[in-house]
Structure 1
Amino acid sequence: MTTASQQAQPPAPVHSPRQRGGIGGSVRDSLVVGKRNLIRMMRIPEVVIFGLIQPIMFVVLFTYVFGGSILIPGAPSGNAQAYREFLMAGIFAQTVTFATAGAGAGIADDMHKGLIDRFRSLPMSRGAVLTGRTLADLVQTALTLVVLAVVALLIGWRTHENLAKVLAGFALLLLLGYAFSWIGALIGLSVRTPEAATSGGLIWLFPLTFISNAFVPVNGMPAVLQHVAEWNPFSATVAAARELFGNTNQHVPKSVTGAWPMEHPVVASVIWSLLIIAVFRTLAVRKYRSATA
């Protein structure tokens, strides 16, 4: 038989999961989510394989189909080797930026399946879901770059600087890829389906990568496009990679318009990438909070 005091006792309050605060907790949560995405990638190997095939096709097509037709200033007509050394930094940069579409599609798929809502119910940092996803994409991009570099060496691409500078060039490429993955994250959170995220992640990348110094020298473009290309963040990283790989050409000027990023490509590449991360990470985390509220 219950007493009156027991009957009057209010029910215990139900507490919602609390987030673990602090930078340390956010880092741990991000690594856990990143590990989850890496395991998922390993269980779907065709995603990784298809991601490797596309850049390899670009290398082969541009080298053997267009290489003999595109003239690099100072090189003999039809000199494919000169074009290979000019081309590869652009192909590397295009590869890391095209990973943006995959990042956006993955996040859109998680949203579509309700997985993001499950993450949100857990006591974890809000930004960890997106940070973990972008870190996992960075690992996949690094793997793709390794394979692509091996293919490039097999077709005759060579570097002419020490190992430290070459590794620094690849680090700048990965930093650009990580920065662009945050753009993909924002796109993935802003659309309703993975298919829309894939289309939205690619449609703006083609003009960004082709109106640049990646595949042809800028001095052959119309004057307006020269300015656009030389202030393009993508162009800064391509120029920085060429410089660190030792693939620059003394007959091709650093800049035809006097653009500061082309005169200081390494510094400009770092600034552009960090700026993109700061802006789009903030927007993506804010969109994540409102989209799942």
Structure 2
Amino acid sequence: MGHYLVTGAAGFIGARVVEMLLADGHSVEGVDNLCDAYDVRLKEYRLARLTPHANFHYHPVDISEMSAVQQVFAHSAPLDGVINLAARAGVRASVENPWVFLSTNTTGTLNLLESCRQYGVKKFVLASTSSIYGADAPYPTPETASSDRPLQPYAASKKGAEAMCHAYHYLNGIDVTIFRYFTVYGPAGRPDMVMFRFVQWISEGRPVRLNGDGEQSRGFTYVDDIARGTILGLKPVGYEIINLGGHETITMNEMIRSLEEMIGRKADVTHLPLHPADMLTNWADVSKARRLLGWEPQVNLQEGMRSLVDWYMQERAWTSQVITA
């Protein structure tokens, strides 16, 4: 069995990746600094599900701090691979404080790559973003679409991380899989993402704050499908950038109508101006993931949304209080 280091282990995608690796008999070194970029109760909930596992070891480390990263590698060596899911995410938040996005997403990736070089780790998986494609991408978007004109510091910081991965692949022979994630949803998701927000706001009778006319759309993929695809990325590929997710598109208005039906409550929609950092749509061409990794999503949108609603209701005593603003 393998021995892997997963950063962002208490994150939405990271926690599911860790759970799946553990279920398959691997051992995992989990790194997460539990930053307060969003309500930390979600991270504590996910981490509490991991810590009982004997093959999981938690390191409360910030990947932007090189000395701390090297201590983790020294403690954990030898490693079969690193999956870097630690990130400051959020297109709007990056406009307000771009420096922390650069520190975590770009410098943090550099720290991990350099530690891989020093400790002889030959496999590196990076979580990037569909936001990197900017405003004029074709739909569905292939990996060959231009990523040279990011619209926000978040996407720019991920572009820098991708470029650093290529440099370390070229100079040091590190095998790199980069995933450009499209919109991911599911139980215990990020509360700053639209799906969690809408479920909470509709369930609790709060105003549903909708930017624009609601006809903007997103391509969604369930978190378990994303986690499976991420683990498939551990196979040798050389250096590849692969879209993952976003295979089922839905408008915000359609999502609200579906959630109203599942929750059994009408949404009180308040329309706000469209945010300039937001993309009007995203929709992934995932044919490369199918070809290289044999990846196929297994959970359809209605089934996944139902799972999210059911989880929220089961945990409602505290999820109703999670900060979503």
TM-score, structure 2 as length reference: 0.23
Q: Looking at both structures, which has the greater relative contact order when contacts are Cα pairs under 8 Å and sequence separation is at least 6?
A: 1
TM-score, structure 1 as length reference: 0.25
Task: Select the structure that is richer in strand.
Answer: 2
